[in-house]
Amino acid sequence: MREYKGSEIRNIAVVGHGASGKTSLVDALAFVSGSSKRHGSVRDGTALTDYAPEETDRGFSVNIGCAYAEWQDTKINLIDTPGQLDFHGEAVAGLAAADGALCVISATAGVETGTELMFREAMDRKDPVLFVVTMMDKEHADFDKVYQQIKSRLTRKVVPVEVPVGEGADFHGIVNLFTKRAHTYKRGAKSGEYQEGLIPAEASETFTQYYNELIESISATDDALLEQYLEGGEIAGEAAIGAMKEAMKRMELFPLFCVSSELNYGTQAVLSTIVDLMPNAYEMEEIHAFTGAEGDATVEIHARDDGPVVAQIFKTAAEQHVGDVSFFRLFSGSIANGDEAFNATRQGTEKLNHLSVPLGRERNEVPRLHAGDIGCIAKLRNTHTNDTLSTKDHPVRLPEIRLPNPLVQMAVHASARADEEKLQLGLHRIHDEDPTFEVHYNAETHETIVSGLGERHLEISLSKLKRKFGVSAELTRPKIAYRETFKAKAEGQGRHKKQSGGRGQFGDCWVRLAPLPRGGGYEFVDEIVGGSIPRQYIPAVDKGIQEASLRGVLAGFPLVDFKVEVYDGSYHTVDSNEMSFKMAGILAFKQVAPRCKPVLLEPLDEVEVLTPDDYMGDILGDLSSRRAHILGTEPEEGRGTKIRAIVPQAELFTYASSVQSLTQGRATFTRSFKGYEEAPHDVALKVIEETAKTRVEAEAH
């Protein structure tokens, strides 16, 4: 491959709902350009960018897949993204690495929730978007219906540039409204070749209808363009294309195209359109990177070959026999194979060996990459997704790609006890690949907790774990980390005395236990006067009480938010020692705690749901069945309503799938730990009963 400068590069994310035809389109575009030698298919597992076993087994994309199409002296980098919410993090990262998006919509399914989600995401990033209606050859394909849906559900600024000739089995050509020429495809040939000619009679009616629509859309968005169009009657001249490109950058126009990836119809036109209308990599707006010893100053980064090297890792994939492969966008500077780079996030140097460009599972080595390009590199020592590579002379950090927060938590256990250590290692490697998959150890429940964007996300992460690291593991419902606390004060004695042959043990203390406000933690106050307990033994009393409090009073959960005052005691000059006073502390706690009206505390999360107004009632109803305390609702411009609520963690286990099914995936939510509150009496009773039962069972074993 020849070297490409930024002006000859387009970086395009292919986004949309699951099964809308993204992966098939990327395959067809790479094939028709000649960059990929075979026309693969999702159905038989040969699509260019679905090559991981997790993808070929299931028939849908799980990871970002990168490919390119060399077309008209331009290198179009194509980033195929997964459409399902469970893998939304990958789609967001794909957009972050690109300068524009192809928003793919199936001609039979139309605009779906994933289309809306990704279109909005692209709008938030201010990216130009091209709509592509795929699967025009499928039975019940309906171009007009999809166009109307885009207008009503996504944007009125959509401009049809093409109309199909025939639909479904009869789809065999495409009319370009700008050039007023038709491309007719030879049936059976899947080469992408066409014959150009006049608009066929069978399409003249649709042509007129869409032509009028086009005038209407353009006049609503761009005066200059409209004028040019009306004067010249076609938009093909450089000035008109320039005007259209500018309007797209300002998000005032969204052109609409149609293809069949399966038959390879319309794919060449999409490539040419990307070259004409999408911004080249040098046109990227400057970005602000952090610099300085504290990372507190910022510098502007421009896409220039002679600027300092700045690259961001947007994806890491652990590959068997290779190790980690890091995919990066080079935002500034140019790099050569073998160069050294500096990871300012982790303060380490990295060697850039085997510099490559990705084409599906293949990686083609290149001697040099220029500012704006996308590449990959294997075996970096300590560089992960979201890290920035720069140089020692100009160390900078780019703002992190803001990925969605994990929503679903499960406990994970190695199927074989002996694999526990391998499990931990593997889980952390998966996290390095995919930051939306998180791992932590809950010291209170003694469980390893994994969190992700959905149940399927966690399941597929475990398949990866098995394949790449050879560890089988199972997911279970996580134990809830309840706690206990006091509602009243009480006082009493703990006295430890043991006479067993030689030297005995003696410790004696009087303590007061009292509740502290929520979040007050633990306080120990020494009120001993006159040396009734010698100084050196008082910390032992403290230790004993803390140890006993970890085991709780009601159901074995740690006791929190309380205060201890030691106010009296006695000792023995020979038999007293630290151990004896620790025992006295334990006994005092056991004596007094049950009289302090212990109660169960449950962990609560703050949940924020953003839902279209149609589903408000369903969401609120579902929340109240989960014992939620609604904090408030407020309208969110153009998106519905934001509902804020406090919900017990015990009630949130299946929340992600409920929200999805209640709203057909149109509502989104976030959750974050809020704190502990007293559990209602009936809930507490049930928890106490259950823990007593499992304890009896455990003892029986």
Ligand X SMILES: Nc1nc2c(ncn2[C@@H]2O[C@H](COP(=O)(O)OP(=O)(O)O)[C@@H](O)[C@H]2O)c(=O)[nH]1
**Residue in 364, 339, 461 with CA at minimum distance from that of residue 406:** 461
What are the b/e assignments for 321-353, b being 16+ CB within 10 Å?
Answer: eeebbbbbbbbbbbbeeebebbbbbeeeebebe
User: CA 667, CA 85: separation in Å to the nearest integer?
Assistant: 11
Instruction: State in angstroms the smallest separation of the CB of 163 from ligand X.
Output: 17
Q: How far is CA 595 from CA 100, 192, 542, in A?
A: 66, 82, 19
Which partner in ligand X, Mg ion, none is near 240 (CB below 5 to 8 A by kind)? none
CA–CA separation, 663 and 608 (whole Å): 15
Q: Does 334 bind ligand X (CB under 6 A)?
A: no
- Return the residue of 35, 61, 77, 260 that touches Mg ion, per CB under 5 A: 61
Structure tokens at 41: 């298919």
Closest approach of Cβ 467 to ligand X, in Å? 21
- Show the binding pattern over residues 636-655: x = contacts Mg ion (CB under 5 A), - = does not: --------------------
In the complex, the smallest distance separating the C-beta of residue 409 from ligand X, rounded to whole angstroms, is 27
Q: How many residues form the binding site for Mg ion (CB under 5 A)? A: 3
**CA-CA distance, 103 to 128, in Å (whole number)?**
10
281: buried, middle or exposed (CB in 10 Å: 19+, 13-18, 0-12)? buried
Residue 466: alpha-carbon gap to chain centroid? 21
In the complex, the smallest distance separating the C-beta of residue 293 from ligand X, rounded to whole angstroms, is 45
CB of 662 vs ligand X, minimal distance in Å: 23
Q: Is 43 in the site for ligand X (CB under 6 A)?
A: yes
Which position among 11, 36, 61, 273 is part of the footprint of ligand X (CB under 6 A)? 61
By CB under 6 A, is residue 279 in contact with ligand X?
A: no
Which residues within the stretch 423-452 sit at the binding site for ligand X (CB under 6 A)? Answer: none
CB of 370 to Mg ion, least distance (A): 29
Taking CB under 5 A as the binding criterion, the range among 56-64, 525-533, 561-569, 641-649 that sits at the site for Mg ion is 56-64
d(CA 434, CA 385): 7
**C-alpha–C-alpha distance, residues 421 and 406, integer Å:** 24
**Any contact of residue 81 with Mg ion (CB under 5 A)?**
no
C-alpha distances in angstroms, 58 versus 52, 62, 456?
10, 9, 12
Contacts (Cβ under 8 Å, ≥6 apart) of 520: 561, 562, 563
| 9, 12, 24, 90: which one binds ligand X (CB under 6 A) | 24
Residues 7-46 that bind Mg ion (CB under 5 A): 22-23
Is there a contact between 642 and 610 (Cβ–Cβ < 8 Å)?
Answer: yes
665 scored as a contact of ligand X (CB under 6 A): no
Query: Is residue 42 within the footprint of ligand X (CB under 6 A)?
Result: yes
What minimum distance in Å lies between the beta carbon of 39 and ligand X?
A: 12
> How far apart, in Å, are the Cα atoms of 376 and each of 267, 352, 355, 359?
26, 9, 6, 10
Q: How far apart are CA 119 and CA 20, in angstroms?
A: 14
Structure tokens at 541: 């009393």
In the complex, the smallest distance separating the C-beta of residue 220 from ligand X, rounded to whole angstroms, is: 30
The listed partner (Mg ion, ligand X, none) that binds 359, CB under 5 to 8 Å by sort, is none
Give least dist CB 269 to ligand X, A: 14
Residue 18 near which of ligand X, Mg ion, none (CB within 5-8 Å, type-dependent) = ligand X
**326 counts as binding Mg ion under rule CB under 5 A:** no
Question: Do strands 388-390 and 310-319 pair parallel, antiparallel, or not at all (unpaired)?
Answer: antiparallel
Task: Report the site for Mg ion in 416-475 (rule: CB under 5 A).
Answer: none
Q: What's the closest the beta carbon of residue 82 comes to Mg ion, in angstroms?
A: 6
Judged by CB under 6 A, the chain residues 67 through 86 that form the site for ligand X are 83
Please tell me the distance from the alpha carbon of residue 360 to that of residue 643, in angstroms, as a whole number.
41
Which residues are within 8 A (CB) of 148 and not within 5 positions of it... i.e. 6 or more apart? none
Instruction: Give the interface segment with Mg ion, choosing from 57-65, 220-228, 445-453, 549-557 (CB under 5 A).
Output: 57-65
- Tokens 């004596």 locate to 591
Q: Give min distance, CB of 96 to ligand X, in A.
A: 19
Of 481-500, binders to ligand X (CB under 6 A) are none
- Of 13-21, 155-163, 238-246, 679-687, the window that binds ligand X (rule: CB under 6 A) is 13-21
Question: By CB under 6 A, which span of 135-143, 190-198, 270-278, 642-650 interacts with ligand X?
Answer: 135-143
Within positions 518 to 537, which residues make up the interface with ligand X, using CB under 6 A?
none
Please spell the DSSP secondary structure of 99-115, one letter per residue.
SEEEEEEETTTBS-HHH
Side-by-side strand order, sheet with 505-515: 490-498, 505-515, 562-570, 522-526
Output the smallest distance, CB 78 to ligand X, in A. 12
Pick the piece of the chain touching ligand X (CB under 6 A) from 22-30, 404-412, 541-549, 600-608.
Answer: 22-30
Distance (Å, whole) CA 241 – CA 221:
15
Cα gap 356→77, rounded to integer Å:
13
Cα–Cα distance list, 625 to 622, 647, 651 (Å)? 5, 10, 9
β-partners of residue 564 are: 513, 524
From first CA to last CA, the distance across the chain in angstroms is 67
Stretch that binds ligand X, among 17-25, 92-100, 198-206, 300-308 (CB under 6 A): 17-25
**Which residues inside 124-153 make contact with Mg ion, applying CB under 5 A?**
none
135 binds, among Mg ion, ligand X, none (CB under 5 to 8 A by kind): ligand X
Per-residue binding letters, 82-111, with ligand X (x by CB under 6 A): -x----------------------------
Contact code string over 228-267 relative to ligand X, x by CB under 6 A: --------------------------------xxx-----
- Give contact residues for Mg ion (rule: CB under 5 A): 22-23, 61
- Give contact residues for ligand X (rule: CB under 6 A): 16, 18-24, 41-43, 60-61, 83, 134-135, 137-138, 260-262
